[in-house]
């Protein structure tokens, strides 16, 4: 590769988007991953990192703008925070870029034929493109003010983020914490705002505003989760995902029987399965999530199993349907192979990282399943992230791209 150094400024013509909120340009044969630019733009960018096979750069000036560029909507991102990386693009174009990245990853990481899918990333129905996040974690700067980490840095940027509703922005502005401390904020489904320094081993949570527990609702059920505990970030995500799982199960699950809900948290997707007539085994590592789930499902056919998914599958009753919503790293080859070996009529995969999602689907197809449906939604507007969904059923998948 050419000799590049941190701080060099380059004039670059930008190409396709990559997975991670950047577009790909080339400089004297070297791939440069450019943040803050769109495909087709010519920009002046400053090199921020140099590796053996690529470099990273951040846009300093847009010389030739894309017709899809709009004024930056996030003050925190404009000041260098790592929160929003696409709020300078038209929302419909953001979804187009994400769909292209998902397609590329299905081919490269999943081994699928390029013509197998034409994924579209649909907007969350009725949801705004800003102020959609009802859970966030901020960090205190040297003066104790709450902000976001700068992109790929421990520095803290204190400025409003477009993802947060005004209630949480105002709450954060009025709080102070020990420098370097992480603070969880929640605007719950009862309309109450909370802030806490989450519990750590040997130290109880410190409540800064509101209560220790936040209330979340999906359908006729409710959960009370510690303010620092996991829940979907988008205010409408949990009910929308549950609706999708119910619809997929209704189409592909056959006669109700036993179901697995893996990486199941407090059981939101388990609730969708119960409503379709299934008895559910939930596997989850978090004791707090399991406690909340047991309370919500006290009189329903849901059994919670604490532990790592890979180690808990052997002891579970055979499933007719498996739903999994793994963390960003994905389920991995061993878990996907074990799910396939259990022989369910349908596997519903919910993935928040498209690369890991593509790998998981590829493994399932190597173990006797095929993709019956594949969808994606824009659950993280203004960022490069998306949520992908697939239904796998027994059968041979033609994956000529492998």
Which residue in the list 30, 352, 365, 377 is annotated as catalytic? 352
Residue 253, number of CB atoms within 10 A of its CB: 24
CA distances (Å), origin 314, targets 5, 251, 319: 52, 27, 12
Largest Cα–Cα separation, the chain: 66
CA distances (Å), origin 263, targets 8, 32, 233, 319: 44, 36, 16, 15
- Nearest Cα neighbor of 369 from 396, 342, 351 is 396
Pairing of the two strands 258-262 and 221-226: unpaired
Rounded Cα distance between 92 and 14, Å, is: 20
CA distances (Å), origin 224, targets 216, 308, 342: 6, 23, 33
Catalytic residue check, 352? yes
- Backbone φ, ψ for residue 64 (5° rounding): -130, 115
Helices (H), 133-279: 166-173, 237-252, 268-275
Tokens of 19: 């997975």
Rounded Cα distance between 134 and 236, Å, is: 9
Q: Which of the residues are catalytic?
A: 352
């Amino acid at each position: 590769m050419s000799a590049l150094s941190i701080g060099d400024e380059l004039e670059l013509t930008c190409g396709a988007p990559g997975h991670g909120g950047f577009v790909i340009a080339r400089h004297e044969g070297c791939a440069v991953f450019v943040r803050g630019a769109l495909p087709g733009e010519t920009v002046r960018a400053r090199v921020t990192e140099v590796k053996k096979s690529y470099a990273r750069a951040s846009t300093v000036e847009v010389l030739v703008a894309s017709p899809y560029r709009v004024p930056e909507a996030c003050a925190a991102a404009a000041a260098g925070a790592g929160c929003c990386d696409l709020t300078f693009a038209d929302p419909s174009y953001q979804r187009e870029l994400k769909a292209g990245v998902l397609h590329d990853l299905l081919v490269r990481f999943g081994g699928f034929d390029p013509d197998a899918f034409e994924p579209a990333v649909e907007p969350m129905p009725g949801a705004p493109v800003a102020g959609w996040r009802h859970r966030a974690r901020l960090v205190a700067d040297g003066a104790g003010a709450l902000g976001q980490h700068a992109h790929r840095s421990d520095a803290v940027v204190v400025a409003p983020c477009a993802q947060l509703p005004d209630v949480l922005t105002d709450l954060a502005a009025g709080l102070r914490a020990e420098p370097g401390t992480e603070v969880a904020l929640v605007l719950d489904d009862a309309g109450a705002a909370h802030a806490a320094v989450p519990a750590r081993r040997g130290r109880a949570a410190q409540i800064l505003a509101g209560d220790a527990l936040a209330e979340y609702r999906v359908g006729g059920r409710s959960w009370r989760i510690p303010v620092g505990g996991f829940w979907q970030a988008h205010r409408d995500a949990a009910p929308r995902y549950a609706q999708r799982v119910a619809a997929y199960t209704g189409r592909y699950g056959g006669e109700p029987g036993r179901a697995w809900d893996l990486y199941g948290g407090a059981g939101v997707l388990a609730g969708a399965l119960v409503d379709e007539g299934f008895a559910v085994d939930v596997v989850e590592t978090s004791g707090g999530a399991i406690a909340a789930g047991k309370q919500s499902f006290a009189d329903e056919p849901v059994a919670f199993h604490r532990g790592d998914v890979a180690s808990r599958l052997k002891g579970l009753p055979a499933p007719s349907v498996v739903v999994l919503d793994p963390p960003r790293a994905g389920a991995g080859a061993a878990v996907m192979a074990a799910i396939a070996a259990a022989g369910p009529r349908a596997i519903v995969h919910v993935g928040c990282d498209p690369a890991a999602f593509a790998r998981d689907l590829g493994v399932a197809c190597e173990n006797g399943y095929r993709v019956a449906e594949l969808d994606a939604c824009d659950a993280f507007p203004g960022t490069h992230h998306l949520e992908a969904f697939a239904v796998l059923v027994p059968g041979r998948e033609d994956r000529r791209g492998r």
